[in-house]
């Protein structure tokens, strides 16, 4: 399927373990978009800090967010719609990503601390240790209505979450041309 509509990018936001990669990859596939994990834009110093259990500061995040924003612009120029997984925990971070880009949407994968802790305990080979989850929950700023963020409860199946997102994005799915 491919999405018809004027969306250049969908940012999947939430704390670590909320399902950004799983939902992002599935949504990109469903919409006919490409998927990118925002974590790949972190400089090595950020990854090393997180791996060591040290929370990132705003100063650590600004260059990372600018790199993601630049990637969104490059994809839009190339007419390549993209789904990007990115924590985007603070309003200021989301502002950098959306700015004046009217064709960018944000989906917030919201879940309880308990549910996400269970999910993180099952993860292997990820640089984000479970110890930083408390830091992320302390940092996250719930989206305001003026941000027009689609909020989805993650205590559901992947298919149910995708259905909610596609419905709220107001896109029409059409079969891919063969």
Residue 175 pLDDT level (bands cut at 50, 70, 90): low
Instruction: Output 9 or 122, whichever has higher pLDDT.
Output: 9
pLDDT mean across residues, the chain:
89
CB atoms within 10 A of CB 21: 15
Which pLDDT belongs to residue 110?
A: 98
Percent of the chain scored above 90 by pLDDT? 73
DSSP code string of 3-18? EESS-SEEEEE-STTS
Specify if 178 maps to a domain.
no
Q: What is the pLDDT of residues 32-76, one digit of tens each?
A: 999 999 999 999 999 899 888 888 899 999 999 999 999 999 999
Q: In the predicted model, what is the mean pLDDT of residues 122-129?
A: 60
Domain total of the chain: 1
Q: What is the pTM of this model?
A: 0.88
Q: What is the pLDDT of residues 134-150, one digit of tens each?
A: 888 999 999 999 998 99
Q: In the predicted model, what is the mean pLDDT of residues 163-176?
A: 80
pLDDT over 70 (residue 153): yes
Candidate from 9-13, 51-55, 80-84 with smallest mean pLDDT? 51-55
Rounded CA separation 100/113 (Å): 32
Specify if 163 maps to a domain.
yes
Chain centroid offset of residue 171 CA: 18
Specify if 1 maps to a domain.
no
Which pLDDT belongs to residue 7?
A: 92
pLDDT over 90 (residue 4): no
Specify if 33 maps to a domain.
yes
Specify if 175 maps to a domain.
no
Residues 6 or more apart from 178 whose CB is under 8 A from it?
A: none
**Max Cα–Cα distance, the chain, nearest Å:** 48
Which pLDDT belongs to residue 116?
A: 92
Rounded CA separation 55/49 (Å): 7
Specify if 26 maps to a domain.
yes
Residue 137 sits in which domain range?
Answer: 9-169
Q: What is the CATH number of the domain that holds 82?
A: 3.40.50.300
Specify if 118 maps to a domain.
yes
Running DSSP on this structure, what letter comes out for residue 1?
Answer: -
Which pLDDT belongs to residue 174?
A: 59
* Cα torsion 40, 41, 47, 50: sign: negative
Specify if 176 maps to a domain.
no
């Amino acid at each position: 399927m491919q999405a018809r509509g004027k969306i250049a990018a969908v940012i999947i936001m939430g704390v670590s373990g909320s399902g950004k990669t799983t939902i992002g990859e599935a949504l990109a596939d469903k919409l006919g978009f490409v998927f990118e994990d925002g974590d790949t834009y972190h400089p090595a110093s950020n990854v090393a800090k997180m791996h060591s259990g040290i929370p990132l500061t705003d100063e650590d995040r600004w260059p990372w967010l600018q790199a993601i924003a630049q990637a969104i612009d490059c994809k839009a120029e190339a007419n390549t719609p993209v789904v990007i997984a990115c924590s985007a925990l603070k309003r200021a971070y989301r502002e950098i990503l959306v700015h004046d880009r009217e064709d960018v949407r944000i989906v917030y994968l919201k879940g309880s601390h308990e549910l996400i802790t269970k999910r993180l305990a099952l993860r292997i080979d990820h640089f984000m240790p479970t110890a930083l989850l408390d830091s992320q929950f302390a940092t996250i700023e719930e989206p305001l209505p003026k941000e027009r963020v689609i909020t989805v409860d993650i205590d559901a199946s992947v298919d149910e979450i995708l259905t909610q997102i596609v419905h709220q994005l107001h896109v029409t799915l059409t079969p891919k041309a063969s």
